[in-house]
């Protein structure tokens, strides 16, 4: 049996940038299945936390311990950034790229890319240049490029920011299907409706501090922190 990637144990992790602490210290264990939704006002540290967990931001204090070795852990997770990087090549080759990077033969990579393009609804634009896609299509491309790695853990940073209702619904359906297949998801959003639709639990961040990690039902009816209560009321948080 393959050793599970999770739990991830984070202990006392903090990030300092520009002379101030922008995140933490955070102690947290990521385990189980499902979707954790990261909520919090602009600048609260959502992107920094996601990137730190994924290993693309280095913490200044603390440790992250995966259940497997660091290299194995790196290969078994994927990240969809808020502004996806689109490579100067076709949609198909954009999606195939992570596989070719990992040494999969080009023909096989392209076959699998075609299947993942279909999954996110990009079949129609497969041969187009990636750069000419619309914003929503670029997000779908980024999602397909992450899913093609069949990650055990998927991070997404506001994957539906700037998308219309239809594109958002498409992406939400894909994420729920991916979750049902057993992929653990951690994603940030500013969309409370989306948090309700997708989240199993809510992580609430404010000023770099993780104020609570609460099951969704409870978060929306009885948030544990004053700041989350204010946030849900729509107050402007300092
Ligand atoms: N390299 C850096 N140097 C200095 N400050 C930084 C750096 N990176 C991030 N910050 C600051 O850290 C804070 C947290 O940023 P982060 O991008 O994680 O917030 P966020 O919750 O994702 O916000 P948003 O909702 O706007 O995406 C912000 O105040 C930001 O200005
Ligand atoms: Mg952010």
Ligand 1 centre to CA of 179 (Å) is: 28
pLDDT of residue 193: 95
**Which residues form the domain of 211?**
8-85+156-233
Is residue 60 domain-resident?
A: yes
- pLDDT at position 126 over 80: yes
Is residue 52 domain-resident?
A: yes
Residue nearest to atom 11 of ligand 1 (CA): 22
Split into its structural domains, the chain has a count of: 1
Q: Which ligand lies nearest to the CA atom of residue 48 in the structure? A: 1
Is residue 137 domain-resident?
A: no
CATH of the domain at 224: 3.40.50.300
Is residue 121 domain-resident?
A: no
Ligand 1 centre to CA of 46 (Å) is: 8
Is residue 184 domain-resident?
A: yes
Cα(140)–Cα(80) distance, rounded to whole angstroms? 10
Q: Which ligand lies nearest to the CA atom of residue 52 in the structure? A: 1
Is residue 1 domain-resident?
A: no
Is this prediction's pTM over 0.85?
A: yes
Ligand 1 centre to CA of 89 (Å) is: 31
The pLDDT tens digits of the residues spanning 149-208 come to 999 999 999 999 878 898 899 999 999 999 999 999 999 999 999 999 999 999 999 999
For 10, the token pair is: 């984070």
pLDDT of residue 147: 97
- Scored b (16 or more CB within 10 A) or e, 79-116 reads bbbbebebeeebbbbbbbbbbeeeebeeeebbebbbeb
Atom of ligand 1 nearest to the CA of 22: 12
The pLDDT tens digits of the residues spanning 127-141 come to 999 999 998 899 999
The pLDDT tens digits of the residues spanning 27-74 come to 999 998 999 999 999 999 999 999 999 999 999 999 999 999 999 999
Is residue 132 domain-resident?
A: no
Please name the residues in contact with 94: beta carbons below 8 A apart, sequence gap of 6 or more: 86, 87, 130, 141, 145
Is residue 191 domain-resident?
A: yes
């Amino acid at each position: 049996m393959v050793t599970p990637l999770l739990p991830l144990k984070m202990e006392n992790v903090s990030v300092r940038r520009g002379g101030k602490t922008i995140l933490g210290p955070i102690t947290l264990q990521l385990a189980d299945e499902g979707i954790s939704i990261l909520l919090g006002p602009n600048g609260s540290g959502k992107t920094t936390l996601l990137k730190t967990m994924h290993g693309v931001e280095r913490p200044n204090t603390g440790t992250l311990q995966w259940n497997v070795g660091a290299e194995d852990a790196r290969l078994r997770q994927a990240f969809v950034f808020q502004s996806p990087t689109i490579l100067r090549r076709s949609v198909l080759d954009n999606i195939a790229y992570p596989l070719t990077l990992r040494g999969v033969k080009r023909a096989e990579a392209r076959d699998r890319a075609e299947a993942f393009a279909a999954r996110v609804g990009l079949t129609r634009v497969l041969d187009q240049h990636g750069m000419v896609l619309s914003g929503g299509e670029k997000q779908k491309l980024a999602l397909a490029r992450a899913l093609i790695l069949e990650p055990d853990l998927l991070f997404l940073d506001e994957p539906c920011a700037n998308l219309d209702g239809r594109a958002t619904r498409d992406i939400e359906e894909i994420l729920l299907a991916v979750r049902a297949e057993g992929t653990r998801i951690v994603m940030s959003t500013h969309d409370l409706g989306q948090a309700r639709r997708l989240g199993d639990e809510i992580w609430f961040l404010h000023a770099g501090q993780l104020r609570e990690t609460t099951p969704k039902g409870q978060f929306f009816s009885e948030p544990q922190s004053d700041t989350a209560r204010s946030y849900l009321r729509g107050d402007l948080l300092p």
